[in-house]
Structures are given as structure tokens and as C-alpha cells.
Amino acid sequence: MNTSSNSTQYALGLDFGTLSARAAVVSLQDGHEAGSAIFEYPDGVIDSRLPGSGVALEKDAALQNPDAYLAALEKTIPAALQKAGVTADAIVGIGVDFTSCTTLPVLRDGTPLCRLDEFRSNPHAWVKLWKHHTPQPEADEINALAGSRGEELLGIYGGKYSSEWFFSKLLETVRKAPDVYGAADRFIEAGDWLVWMLTGQERRCISAAGFKAMVVYPSGNPESPWTCPPDDFFRSLDPALTGVADTKLGREYLPLGASAGGLAPDMAQRLGLNPGTPVAAANIDAHVAVPACRVSGPGTMVMIMGTSTCHLLVSGEKHLVEGMCGVVRDGVLPGFWGYEAGQSGVGDSFAWFIKHACPAEIHEQARQQGSDVYQLLADQASELRVGESGLLALDWWNGNRSVLVDADLTGLILGLSVTTRPHEIYRALIESTAFGTRRIIEAFTSQGVDIHQLVACGGLARKNPLMMQIYADVTGMPIRIAASDQTCALGAAMYGAMAAGHFSSITEAASKMAHLEPKAFHPDPEANLRYGELYKQYIHLHDYFGRSADSPMKTLKSLRRRTDHS
């Protein structure tokens, strides 16, 4: 057991994802993960009925229970410390990242409204997870109003504000649950709320505020405060939103790596940590992975690959790029304009296929071979040549985040026949996500943003070499892989160390704590050429189904909505 006399110091990285949370104890000397623990949320993603009351939810709803986040703290932190063999005295700082945009309404003291008896059965009082897509009509309304007024926010969000983002969800609450909106003293990102619970103080970071909540860096005046669109914009959306920036959000935002305060005594006792331990301002889970992938400047796109994929990069200049999720000065790395794009369904789409569409005989074959279904299909799919399956898919099984920004878009597989086999579909799904990433890359490079290499992290990147080779072949770019199994937790720990003053910058922290695997995936020129032919057809489908006003996907979604309300 290490004690305070031991010279080794650690930071605690808390990483909150879609289905689980993890705590990692990370060495400040070399980034070694000394111990970690994972907690699966008991209610998972709530997408059918509310726990307890059994209230049915709309299709495309995705809620969570905030009490699971606090339970995760109490379960993972002591366990991670025990596995690491260190005491609380060795922890110099705490960093938090959270999947975003994930929001909840709370009282003035931070109490979530879903805890109150009067709101327990109201879905809008619960956490709205990032992939809560029911506010698409509200997003459409925001975009129409912003377009008619020429608001700057449309350019900042790539031409469209997403149904996944903060004010789409907030406006949905105003329209569908005005009593919840009226009772809430604050609407807050789950990451900022968690920091509030840890420190006892409401402190918001510019990360989620800038990329999700319309908080923009004022043009031409770096000394001015961050600002939202004018109040008459919100009032025009709905009179109930008058003064929303001041009354429901607040206007103070901490920079990346800033201390949000010390760990509150009661929370320290519950978690087995020292009171006063510095807690960093919350960050978005994908964003903390950028320095954890040793990226410190322009030219490299980081792909954080999991249930969805986020694409992060920085530039010395501000560019307006179609379909990006936002551009925020100092929003990803201090000193640069940070850009985000993404794909709403990657690992989720593979999991759907394995769970719901892959024949039982494949599962049985994998069991007999002592393998899992993913590995069996990957082994079989790796034997296929480019184009051999005759299949082409669109990667919109959970809507499109970039570049079309439309949650109403859905999945598609073209070329199916009676001879099609499961491993061919699996490969086509992987290829579709690679095509989606190439489309995102081209959106940036066409506007002058430099991208010449890729770095990938997350479970998919480390466990699926077939996927990484396909991505290299489709994009024509080399891909490096982050060495850490828990890149986001590592990045959060790095920011925790920075908040404690151990490092003067996140770049310094990255130079000591972040590492890449020595092996890189390099594109095969012949495969890249053949994928170019398939990619042309992908773009043809992409534009017809995604941009056409009479897209069959839109018609089908409309029919389903009418059925839901009949």
C-alpha cells in the first residue's frame, strides 16, 4: 500500500459513458493506469418505460437515472483505489468527462426533478441522454428561426443545430412539460452537474456550453465574456424562454483544465478521498481523448470510437464547415479553434446486427469455436475482397450527426440477395461507417482545415484491426492507435492533474502521460482505389436519401410518428 510518503502521485479520471462509468487511478509520472473499476448503470438507457411508474416513452427517447451516476462514484472510486494500492493522500486531482449532450433539470441545490414525487412519472424530469432524438421537431424550429434571422449560431454548428443538443431538448421540455420547465431552477449538462455534486458548487465548463448550448466566443474581443444569442431569439422561439440564459443556465464558464473547486467534505467521506482535492471543470468524454492521444496541434483528426464515433481536431483558424457539431475557440485544446463532428451510430449499429439480425447458427458456431460473434464475423469478413459482397450500406442506424445533422435519417443496405451471408452484411456495415468518416474528413478539408493523419481510440479501435484497416483503405490516410484502454479516463485524469497545478498545460501533461501504439495501419493503394468506386455510390445514396425533400426515409419516419400518436 502506498502512503503519502511515497513520491509517486496520481490523478483520478472519472469517465461517464452511455452505458457505464469508470474510474481510473493514473500515474502522473508516465500515465500508467494503476487501477480502475467500472460500474454498469442499473437502468441502462431508459428507452421504453420509466422505472417504477412504468410510463411509456416515445420512440427515439433515451433517458437515464442521475442517481446511477452518484452510485457509480461510490462503487468505482474506492474499488479503483484498492486495485491501485494507493491511499487518498496520493491523489492530487480529479478530472471528470461525460458523454454529451446529456442534460437534466434540477432545483437550486442541484436536486434532480425526477427525484421529486410530483415529477417522478414525467419523462422530461429525467436525464435526457445524448441520443435522445425526440426533439427533432424542436431542432427544425430552431434552425428555421435562426436561418430567417441570420443568426451566427447556424454557421458555428455547421448549418444545423442538432436534436441532440441542449436547446432542442430544453425547448422540447417547454412544449411538452411546461410544469417541469417552470419548476426547474437550472438545466445543466450531466458532467457539470456531477462536478457540482463533487464540489458543492455549480461550475460549468465552456466545453459543453460552446459545443452544445449556443455559447459562443465573441468575435474580435477576447476579453469579452462568452455570450448566447440575444434574448429576443429565445423569446421568439417561445415566450417561456425569455431570459433563459440568465435564469436557467448562468453566464460564467470555466476554461478547460480549470479547477472547479475542492472535493466537498461529505462527498470526500463517501468516496474515501481527501476533502479539498482539486476537481477539474467537466469536459466532454470525446474531447478529453484528444490530448490523451498525444495530439497537441493541427493536422490530426482523433476518432473516439464506441457506440458512436466523435471526430475531433483543431486549427489555428476558424472555418465554417458543413455539418460540424461546432467550432469553439479553446474548446478542445487551449490556443486553438476546436472542431467536432461525429457519427451517431457505429458500435450501436454493429450491436444491433449481432443481437437482432445475426442468425442463431452463427452464435452457436462462435460458441463452439470458443470465440465471440464479432470475432467470428471479422475473421470471415477479412477474407472478402473490396466489393466482393455486392453490398453498400448507409451508416444512419441512429440518425446522422454529420454532415446532414438529421435524426430522422435511418439505415439502409443495398444489394441484398438470397445468397447474402452474415459476414458480408457485417463488413458492409463497417465499410459504411468508414465512408461516413471519409465524408466528414472531406467536409473539413474542402474548407481549408488540414487533416493528414488519423488517431483512433476506444474499444473498437483496439479490438477490431479489420475495421481499422478498412478505415485506412477508405480514407487513404494512416491511422495510429492510442495505447490506453481507457483513453477518456486517462484524458480526464490529465485535466485533473492540470487543475491541481501539477502541469502548466495539457500539452505538458500529454508529453508525460499519453502514448500511442507503435504499429500503424497504412492504406493499401489498390484497396483505396477500389473503395473510391464504392464511395462514389455511397455519396449518391447519401445525397438522395439525406438531402432530398421527398426522401423515402422521411416519409417512413412520418408514418411511424403518426402511428405512435394514433
| DSSP, residue by residue, 436-480 | HHHHHHHHHHTTT--EEEEEEESHHHHH-HHHHHHHHHHHT--EE
Span 256-264, mean pLDDT? Answer: 97
pLDDT band at 228 (very low <50, low <70, confident <90, very high): confident
Q: What is the pLDDT of residue 530?
A: 98
Chain segment 71-83, per-residue pLDDT in tens: 999 999 999 999 9
Check if the beta carbon of residue 303 is closer than 8 Å to that of residue 433. Answer: no
Q: What is the pLDDT of residue 218?
A: 57
Residue 328: which H helix or E strand, with range? strand 326-329
Q: How far, CA to CA in Å, does 485 sit from each of 31, 423, 491? A: 12, 27, 12
> CB neighbours (10 Å) of residue 47?
16
Q: What is the pLDDT of residue 2?
A: 36
Q: What is the pLDDT of residue 96?
A: 98
Rounded Cα distance between 361 and 223, Å, is 64
Q: What is the pLDDT of residue 321?
A: 97
Q: Report whether pLDDT(251) > 90.
A: no
- SS3 call for 155: helix
Check if the beta carbon of residue 192 is closer than 8 Å to that of residue 204. Answer: yes
> CB neighbours (10 Å) of residue 56?
10
Rounded Cα distance between 154 and 342, Å, is 17
Chain segment 383-403, per-residue pLDDT in tens: 999 999 999 999 999 999 999
Chain segment 403-446, per-residue pLDDT in tens: 999 989 999 999 999 999 999 999 999 999 999 999 999 999 99
Span 328-348, mean pLDDT? Answer: 94
Which residues fall within 8 angstroms of residue 520, CB to CB, at 6 or more apart? 478, 479, 480, 481
Q: How far, CA to CA in Å, does 388 sit from each of 88, 476, 530? A: 56, 20, 11
Q: Report whether pLDDT(5) > 50.
A: no
Mean pLDDT of the chain: 95
Rounded Cα distance between 148 and 238, Å, is 16
Span 95-111, mean pLDDT? Answer: 97
What domains can be seen in the chain, in order of their start residue? 10-281 (3.30.420.40), 294-486+504-566 (3.30.420.40)
Chain segment 472-487, per-residue pLDDT in tens: 999 999 999 999 999 9
Q: Report whether pLDDT(566) > 70.
A: no
What would the grid cell of residue 457 be?
481510440
> CB neighbours (10 Å) of residue 520?
15
Q: What is the pLDDT of residue 220?
A: 46
More confident residue, 559 or 525: 525
Q: Report whether pLDDT(565) > 80.
A: no
Q: What is the pLDDT of residue 223?
A: 56
Phi/psi at 99 (nearest 5 deg)? -65, 140
Residues in the chain: 566
Span 527-547, mean pLDDT? Answer: 98
Name residue, grid cell 454548428.
157
Q: Report whether pLDDT(499) > 50.
A: yes
Rounded to whole angstroms, the maximal C-alpha distance in the chain is 69
* DSSP codes of every residue in 180-233: HHHH-SEEEEHHHHHHHHHHSS--EEHHHHHHHS--BPPTT-TTSPPBPSPHHH
Check if the beta carbon of residue 128 is closer than 8 Å to that of residue 188. Answer: no
Q: What is the dihedral of CA 71, 303, 519, 534, to 10 degrees?
A: 130
Q: What is the pLDDT of residue 400?
A: 95
Check if the beta carbon of residue 191 is closer than 8 Å to that of residue 100. Answer: yes
Check if the beta carbon of residue 11 is closer than 8 Å to that of residue 493. Answer: yes
**pTM for the structure as a whole:** 0.93
Phi/psi at 532 (nearest 5 deg)? -60, -35
Q: What is the pLDDT of residue 395?
A: 98
Q: What is the pLDDT of residue 252?
A: 86
> CB neighbours (10 Å) of residue 255?
12
What would the grid cell of residue 135 be?
426533439
Window from 228-232, 460-464, 488-492 with minimum mean pLDDT? 228-232
Rounded Cα distance between 291 and 100, Å, is 18
Check if the beta carbon of residue 362 is closer than 8 Å to that of residue 334. Answer: no
Name residue, grid cell 440564459.
245
Rounded Cα distance between 405 and 440, Å, is 12
Q: How far, CA to CA in Å, does 505 sit from each of 256, 473, 489, 502? A: 10, 35, 18, 9
